[in-house]
């Protein structure tokens, strides 16, 4: 434990892999995840190991799920003299908050192929004093209002954007807000508590990852220290 650790300095840890079928590269994947500096100490080792495992899991996913698709598409393209497909995948990160003993970020994968692009985002917020990720409920008063507060904030924001003619939404977006709600899909920012929904869950692919921000001054949200 390190109660005096108020921010976390990191540098990128990068890696790349290529998969070959019949002598041709059919899939390329790259990873860029955070690595704490220095690399010693309990919190630093735990964070480093966490993202090393995430990186390894991403490469395994690429080999297990994406490689068979890529190899089949390449074989079909060669058989029918079609243009060769371009398959690649990447995992990257963006730090969104780093003060007052909290370190928050999201990692996001991007898969690109003939069918288009798929984005998958994951949010993490670490309590640097305890050395572990913290649940969203930590920043809300009481256990009950979390889901209600976030669903209400998202609905209000969507209605505001619709009234302003901004953004595109699925016709069943209200159902999607409830169905795809996940309290782990959040991260902290300087402006407030940001929570997000999976791509295609409440909006078309062109909208990417729908994100909503609840300002720290808004009840029942509790601001992190120094926010």
One pLDDT digit (tens) per residue for the chain, 227 residues: 344 688 999 999 999 999 998 889 999 999 999 999 986 678 899 999 999 999 999 999 999 999 999 999 999 999 999 999 999 999 999 999 999 999 999 999 999 999 899 999 999 999 999 999 999 999 998 656 799 999 999 999 999 999 999 889 999 999 999 999 999 999 999 999 999 999 999 999 999 999 999 999 888 888 887 65
How far apart are alpha carbons 191 and 193 in whole angstroms? 7
Sheet holding 102-113, edge to edge: 10-21, 24-36, 88-99, 102-113, 116-127, 132-133
- Pick from 158, 147, 224, 154: nearest CA to 189: 224
- pLDDT score at 1: 39
- pLDDT score at 219: 81
- pLDDT score at 226: 61
């Amino acid at each position: 434990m390190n109660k005096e650790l108020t921010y976390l300095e990191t540098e990128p840890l990068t890696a790349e892999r290529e998969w070959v079928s019949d002598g041709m590269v059919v899939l390329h994947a790259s990873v860029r995840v955070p690595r704490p500096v220095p690399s010693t100490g309990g919190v630093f080792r735990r964070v480093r190991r966490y993202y090393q495992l995430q990186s390894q899991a991403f490469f395994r996913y690429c080999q297990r799920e994406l490689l068979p698709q890529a190899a089949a598409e390449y074989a079909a393209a060669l058989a029918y003299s079609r243009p060769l497909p371009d398959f690649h995948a990447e995992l990257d990160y963006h730090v969104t908050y780093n003060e007052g003993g909290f370190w928050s970020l999201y990692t996001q994968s991007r898969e690109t192929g003939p069918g288009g692009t798929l984005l998958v985002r994951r949010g993490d917020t670490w309590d640097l004093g305890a050395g572990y990720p913290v649940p969203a409920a930590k920043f809300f008063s009481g256990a009950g209002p979390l889901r209600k507060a976030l669903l209400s904030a998202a609905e209000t924001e969507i209605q505001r954007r619709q009234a302003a003619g901004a953004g595109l939404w699925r016709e069943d977006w209200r159902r999607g807000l409830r169905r795809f709600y996940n309290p782990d899909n959040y991260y902290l920012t300087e402006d407030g508590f940001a929570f997000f929904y999976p791509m295609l869950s409440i909006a078309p692919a062109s909208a990417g990852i729908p994100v909503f921000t609840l300002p720290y001054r808004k009840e029942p949200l509790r601001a992190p220290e120094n926010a």
